[in-house]
Structure 1
């Protein structure tokens, strides 16, 4: 792992670890804000309609995935989990579009933009292969090698028959 990744991953992960632990320990206000979304999601998916449980689960996901990213353990999986947990957190936590007070609206817009930036960071981390071939390249290369081997086998079989 190069120096940039070794430094950048823990820096990016820090906000998720601290925010996740805080959500686990003190779900309070987040529970009230999440209740409408949790109700909609519960109806669609069959998940429990318990906002406090969902806030704590989201917090646990952020904390654990943040630790995984910070330590370099399955960083692409960790980043994907962070992206998935950040989306509902941002939508529920910073609904600037429904805020009437100009000051509160501006504060929510800033936090929404910050979370959008974090989302961009974890998405970049999710596709970072650290210089190694990704799964897509490996699959294409394996298919190409299989086609080449099949052509060679066919040519060898034709030569053997003639």
Structure 2
């Protein structure tokens, strides 16, 4: 594994582990801000808890678990994808800069919004990082190309072997019995 992955993954994960722990321990601190985002989503997704505090706690638990997996390099692509999924509602709930009246608060919230957007980009890159190994898509395309090549060679080989047999059959048919 490259040094960039060894160092970069825990750095990226640190924010989620810390923030997730805070959400698990004290969901009441962020529940009021999360309400406008959680309520419409919870109404459409029956698996989510009805309580905003429980949804915040669940989001935090996913962030802690996925953050630890990403930091340790265990299932890093799945962990990065899970973190990306949790970051979207977190950002929409916590950094609604377009609703701020105070210009200073608007600037701060926009900075945090853009920071989360940058982290989302990093997570999407991490989710697509195969660690230098070919991706599953590349391997399947490569295998299909190899199968096509082998089938073509088998067909040519069959035809090459069939020509002399066909010629021998024609000669045999032409000979008197």
Q: TM-score, normalised by structure 1?
A: 0.94
CA RMSD of aligned residues (A): 1.3
Which residue of structure 1 lines up, in the alignment, with residue 39 of structure 2?
39
Distance 1:114 1:55 in 2: 20
Q: Secondary structure at the match of 2:131?
A: coil
> Residues 1-162 of structure 1 correspond to what in structure 2 (within 5 A)?
1-47=1-47, 48-162=49-163
User: What are structure 2's unaligned runs of at least 5 residues?
Assistant: 164-177
Q: State the shift of 1:86 in Å.
A: 0.6
Distance 2:44 2:143 in 1: 39
Q: Which shifted more, 37-46 or 117-126?
A: 37-46
Q: Secondary structure at the match of 1:100?
A: coil
Q: State the shift of 1:69 in Å.
A: 0.7
Q: State the shift of 1:121 in Å.
A: 1.2
User: What are structure 1's unaligned runs of at least 5 residues?
Assistant: none
Distance 1:128 1:70 in 2: 14
Q: State the shift of 1:157 in Å.
A: 2.5
Distance 1:27 1:82 in 2: 18
1:47-106 Cα deviation digits (max 9, x unpaired): 332211111111011111110111000111111111111111001100000111112111
Distance 1:143 1:56 in 2: 45
Distance 1:157 1:78 in 2: 50
Equivalent pairs counted in the alignment come to: 162
Distance 1:57 1:157 in 2: 62
Q: State the shift of 1:159 in Å.
A: 2.7
C-alpha contact 2:37 2:92 (8 A) present in aligned 1: no
Could you list the structure 1 runs, at least 4 aligned residues long, displaced by more than 6 angstroms after superposition: none
Q: TM-score, normalised by structure 2?
A: 0.86
